[in-house]
Amino acid sequence: MAEAERIIGTPESPETGGAGPEQSDRRAKDTADAERPRGRRRIAVLFGVAAFAYALDLVSKMWVVAELEHHPPIEIIGDWLKFEAIRNAGAAFGFGEAFTVIFTVIAAAVIVVIARLARKLYSLPWAIALGLLLGGALGNLTDRIFRSPGVFEGAVVDFIAPKHFAVFNLADSAIVCGGILIVLLSFRGLDPDGTVHKD
């Protein structure tokens, strides 16, 4: 009888792959425990990328205000690319100067949404994309709050001036790169939680 049970196996027998309620609960807990560190790493990447993008934007603007404002533009590639200090009260690339407060509120809302979405983040590419968006939004929001003419109405410091194109800054670049990456990830069907869907 014992030999027959060994060959056939019982529901709790590991040889048959069966699992009782306790084993199922333990496996679910192990899976959840394994997911938590992975999720925390992705969140760390998100905020690490955001901090790097924000710091780079902040340092570049400090340099522009100290060394470039009220001075002639610096030619980087002839007439094709210059560094020229511009104060922009509108959105990215100089659009909508009459809606500074609205753009400030939108930037703050984007930051809140990204922070809430971070809790469900398990995808490294999404972490990088959202980090770029967060860093860029924080960079321009800092200008909106702390620069003249006043709180929530401050003009953003722009300085990258390609020929035949709007003047922008590193925060704008981070936002655009993050947005492009999000579009590409969406086309590939990759969700922030790491799942892949096919439409």
Query: Rounded distance, CA 115 to CA 18, Å?
Result: 41
Pairing of strands 81-88, 156-162: antiparallel
Query: Rounded distance, CA 27 to CA 128, Å?
Result: 31
Alpha helix locations (H) across the chain?
A: 2-8, 21-63, 100-117, 124-146, 170-187
Q: Which of 33, 143, 172, 191 is catalytic?
A: 172
Q: Which of 25, 158, 191, 199 is catalytic?
A: 158
CA distances from 41 to 24, 38, 45, 46 (A): 26, 5, 6, 9
Task: Please say if 172 is a catalytic residue.
Answer: yes
Give catalytic residue positions.
Answer: 158, 172
